[in-house]
Amino acid sequence: MPPVPYDTAWVARLVDIDSCLSNEAMGWLCAHQLSDGAWGAESPFYYHDRVICTLAAMIALARRGRRSQDRKQIELGQQALERICEGATAGLAKDVRGATVGFEMIAPTLVAEAERLGLIKRQGERILGKLGNLRAMKRQKLQGGIHRYSTVAFSAEMAGEDFDMLNLSQLTESNGSVGCSPAATAYYVLMVKPGDSAALSYLKHSRDAQSGGVPNVAPFDVFEVAWTLWNLALTWPEIRFHPAVKKHVSFLERAWQPGQGTGFAADYSVRDGDDTGLVFETLKRYETAVDIDAVLSYEEPLNFRCYPLEANPSTSAHAHILGALRASGMDRNAPPVSKAIHFLERARVPGGYWHDKWHISPYYVTSHIVIACAGFAPELVLQAVHWLLDTQNKSGAWGMYTPTAEETAYCIQALWAWSQHHPGNTQIKALNAVRNALLWLKDHVEPPYPPLWIGKCLYCPENVIRSAVLSALNVQR
């Protein structure tokens, strides 16, 4: 996973703890300031991403910038930050997928620090200032403090100097991290337990050795392996017999906890419905059985949860849980299947497609829902299939902001899966669209890919995307 500005900015603060680690991170940060003075993904523009990345980067520079070049970058960053803050009310509302992870808790902490440093004006009744009230309300709901068995640990830096929010006896993971988050771990080693050797070791192993930047999350081995194997098996079923995949299938099986499933990393204490659903289906595709009870443990009265206490359910988690229920042999009318389908019916937006909180492009989640429902619950996704056909660019590609290999691959996968089960006029249109898309995709295979995934900032799981591209190219065999 390529480095991101937000987490790298936190590591850059560690100059008094580990100057080498800090200097490398600062070098990466200075080299990745955008032309307008901000930090974040250059494209696509996602307001929450720009706010959180620019705040974190500016604080890092202000706290340790001593060179004339640092001062110049601070001046440019201040101008960008003020523009971002001035337009925050309208800008944040434009991000229809919603906030980045932990934004309403992290942003007020960073805003308060930036105000103290004189980087921005007092926010007061502006939207970034009002977020402080939401943070205070949510803080009251934290039971038992922030600990490694809660998702909040991934964003532990939200605590700032409120150390009483932390359950220090149960905060760190076995790999030395806090929530498998470089940012949260850098906060811990900077402000909570300065110089902690296990945390520093984790950060050193997580950084990009050449550039000094760090990713949004590390490790993410279950997620990376599962999504890659799922993508490849979708259009290449016989890959399950290939000797090269055996160790990866065995790894997923070991990461599985009966009755609980799995999380995005083997070293992460929190399990979730999204990874559990997709890993179950993936293992079934590779002829390895695990318990469906683990998937069903995420069932709620009206939907399935991704994480405990989540504010809004995930549509992609429902797609993957539906895929798991289907792979387990459940009938279309089984109560858990009906529950997942009814949730997706309610979550569908006008036009017949879906948004999700983990990805800024509707093509990701919509394509995965089409794949889960093709030949199983076609009435749910027929309108979505037509939406995919209608929104294909003249070039043959797809893209919410600009044409991308990632989004084009997802649409090829979905239309190909639909065509395998539903003969007729729509099938012909789908196959024609796939043929045109393949011509474009063959010329756009290689990374870098734009960051379309939503963490605390936008990020790019490169191998997962590459496997989707290879999966799409494989439909022409």
CA separation, residue 1 to residues 118, 251, 382 (Å): 34, 20, 34
Report in angstroms the alpha-carbon separations of 49 from 62, 103, 138, 172.
20, 9, 21, 26
473: enclosing H helix or E strand = helix 462-473
User: Among 158, 153, 144, 145, which residue's Cα sits nearest to residue 173?
Assistant: 153
Per-residue model confidence as pLDDT tens for the chain (477 residues): 999 999 999 999 999 999 999 999 999 999 999 999 999 999 999 999 999 999 999 999 988 766 666 778 888 888 888 888 777 777 787 776 788 999 988 998 998 899 888 887 776 556 666 676 667 777 777 767 899 999 999 999 999 999 999 999 999 999 999 999 999 999 999 999 999 999 999 999 999 999 999 999 999 999 999 999 999 999 999 999 999 999 999 999 999 999 999 999 999 999 999 999 999 999 999 999 999 999 999 999 999 999 987 878 999 999 999 999 999 999 999 999 999 999 999 999 999 999 999 999 999 999 999 999 999 999 999 999 999 999 999 999 999 999 999 999 999 999 999 999 999 999 999 999 999 999 999 999 999 999 999 999 999 999 999 999 999 999 987
Closest to 167 (Cα-Cα) out of 154, 183, 157, 153: 153
Dihedral in degrees, nearest 10, Cα atoms 184, 185, 191, 193: 140
| Amino acid letter, residue 162 | D
Contact yes or no for 427/445 (Cβ under 8 A): no
Distance between CA atoms of residues 299 and 314, nearest Å: 13
Distance CA 48, CA 34 (A): 16
**Angle, alpha carbons 460-107-211 (nearest 5°):** 40
Rg (CA), the chain: 22
Q: Is 186 helix (H, G, I), strand (E, B) or coil?
A: helix
pTM: 0.95
C-alpha dist (Å) from residue 423 to 24, 419, 431, 471: 56, 7, 11, 22
Angle at 149 between CA 134 and CA 318, to 5 degrees: 75
Q: How many CB atoms lie within 10 A of CB 406?
A: 28
**Burial class of residue 264 in the structure, from the number of CB atoms within 10 Å of its CB (0-12 exposed, 13-18 middle, 19+ buried):** buried
Query: Which tokens belong to 257?
Result: 């906890």
Number of residues written out for the chain:
477
Quick: pLDDT tens for 209-242: 999 999 999 999 999 999 999 999 999 999 999 9
CA 168 to CA 192: how far, in whole Å? 9
At 111, which helix (H) or strand (E)? Answer: helix 103-116
Task: Count Cβ atoms below 10 Å from residue 43 Cβ, excluding itself.
Answer: 12
Q: Which phi and psi angles does 187 have, rounded to 5°? A: -60, -45
Q: Please provide residue 471's backbone torsions phi and psi, each rounded to the nearest 5 degrees.
A: -60, -45
Residue 75 CB burial class (10 angstroms; 0-12, 13-18, ≥19): exposed
Q: Are 116 and 93 in contact (CB under 8 A)?
A: no
327's tokens: 């792979």
Pair 173, 184: CB distance under 8 Å: no
| Cβ atoms within 10 Å, residue 259 | 11
